[in-house]
Structure 1
Amino acid sequence: MNIRYRVYDFLLSDPRKQQCHEVLMARNSYYQALDRVEQKEFVLRTLIFLRSVNIHSEHGFFVSREMEILLGSAFVQITLGLKRDVLTYFKRIFIFSKPYSYKNMNTLFNGDVNPITGSINLSWPAIEQGFIVPTEGVNLAIHEFGHCLILENNYCNFLRHILHPKQLKSWERLALKQLVRIRQGRSTLFRRYAGTNLMELFAVALENFFEKPYALYAENPEMYKNMCMLLKQDPRDPAKPTQFHHFM
């Protein structure tokens, strides 16, 4: 654990850290499998992330601390192996009690990211369902935070990239081939929505990477290996995912 996290560990109260630990032990299967060292850093990163964002909800819908912790854990899960532990542009999260729509649109949404306002909009039932069934490759929070990660990476200058440029370029080359397979109905893992574009494919790939790592490796081992390098972790080692060994 680096010096920054040691400072946060000293400053944050034990009851707050204990509450976070208990929520995650009850509701986040990724966290449950981590060893104690990684769990400690995960808790700190979750609390740091929650301090960095503003969470709002529609009138009459109460967002509890437990709900905030569960939501924040999705971002930490994605970034546990990376140096970046907060979002710098998407600071506003708005949670709805059910699927929502926009003016003059008939479509209902469970989640979307708005680059203009720097906001993330999410439907709580869909967020919760992603953690209730953690092995189906569908997790709304991971999906939408995946969009944020790519967008913020694009906004960064060369020296502040979240994702390594060469590794991301390699992922894009592999993803273009996977996109064709999905559109042709030749993927047994990726749902058809992933074939919309590279942005959606990345978000769905994240869901599969964390919830169906062996299935993703079986269907596209090169993409899986690349994502391990890109995110600096391997979910196939659930106790110590960020201490993965480089592939031969």
Structure 2
Amino acid sequence: MFEWLSDGITHLKRHRITSSEKAILENKFIYYQRLNQNHKKEFVTKLELVITRKAFVPRGALSEVTTEMKILIGATIVMVTFGWNDLRLPHFKKILIYPSTYYSTISKQYHRGEVNPRHGIIVLSWSCFLNGIADQKDGVNLGIHEVAHALKLENQIYYNDESEFFNPEIYRSFQLLATEEIHKIKTGNLTVFRSNAGIDDDEFFAVALETFFEKPHEFFEYNPELYGTLVRLMRQDPRVWVNV
């Protein structure tokens, strides 16, 4: 029997994660590997819903979207949103995947990824995405970065059922602490964050989440107040999953 889900307009056949797809998680997604069995079941359930409700679209020279692409990109969305029971980023219905960096006719530059809130699209370079998950301790992860942008935007979108999921008081605390860190970066002080975190508050949030998930112990040692605020904002603590 198939289970059908409604997105309010159409009925979707729910994707069921197979044993071979679970093997991709076990072999290539460290966050999933370190979850206990109950959390793994929860993760898989959420991943099924993400894959069911998102359209994964090949772009450029990419001829098709593989199962591995769907699993690993979907898993990144689940990881970032794991602290919430029912958060699926519904505004962002399409994920466009290029084989490598791609040229934007709008910005006249090559990009590794971007988020387009007007069209509800997340765009990723697959080679850059893979580089991000290959080294999960360097604080550079394209998937986390772009999903973080989408998460921040989704919180501000008021015409769907998933807006304002950030606790307002905690988010204000984060913004105040983030402003201090951005100032440090812009004035040349050494921080745990890479330099482009100082561009603006959007970039800081994205880089902060990369650091949060990939270098949680170093982040905590650098600024325990900011780290603790992100733990409360994101409703999870990656130090539980990541070994020193």
Cα distance in 1 for partners of 2:202, 2:187 equals: 18
Deviations along 1:88-118, one digit per CA (max 9) or x if unpaired, are: 2111110001101111644210000011111
Q: Partner letter of residue 232 of structure 1?
A: R
Deviations along 1:50-85, one digit per CA (max 9) or x if unpaired, are: 111111012552221111100111111111111333
Taking only the aligned residue pairs, the percentage that are identical comes to 34
Matches within 5 A, 1:49-64: 49-58=50-59, 60-61=61-62, 62-64=64-66
For structure 2, the 5+ residue unaligned runs are 1-12
Q: Is the 8 A contact 2:155 2:162 kept in 1?
A: no
Cα distance in 2 for partners of 1:209, 1:67 equals: 23
Cα distance in 1 for partners of 2:190, 2:43 equals: 33
Cα distance in 1 for partners of 2:102, 2:180 equals: 34
* 3-state secondary structure, aligned to 2:40: helix
Name the counterpart of 1:83. 85
Q: Shift of residue 215 of structure 1?
A: 0.8
* 3-state secondary structure, aligned to 1:135: coil
Question: Which structure features the higher share of helix residues?
Answer: 1
The list of structure 1 runs, each at least 4 consecutive aligned residues, that deviate by more than 4 angstroms after superposition, is 12-15, 157-160
For structure 1, the 5+ residue unaligned runs are 1-11, 240-248
- Counting matched residue pairs gives 229
* 3-state secondary structure, aligned to 1:116: coil
Question: Which structure features the higher share of strand residues?
Answer: 2
Name the counterpart of 2:164. 161
Cα distance in 2 for partners of 1:109, 1:102 equals: 7
Cα distance in 2 for partners of 1:237, 1:153 equals: 25
Cα distance 1:103–1:42, how it changes in 2: closer, same or farther (>3 A)?
Answer: same
What is the RMSD of the two structures over their aligned residues, measured on CA atoms? 2.2
Q: Shift of residue 19 of structure 1?
A: 2.8
Cα distance in 1 for partners of 2:187, 2:49 equals: 43
1:217 aligns with 2:220: yes
TM-score relative to the length of structure 1: 0.86
Q: Shift of residue 211 of structure 1?
A: 0.3
Name the counterpart of 1:243. none
TM-score relative to the length of structure 2: 0.88
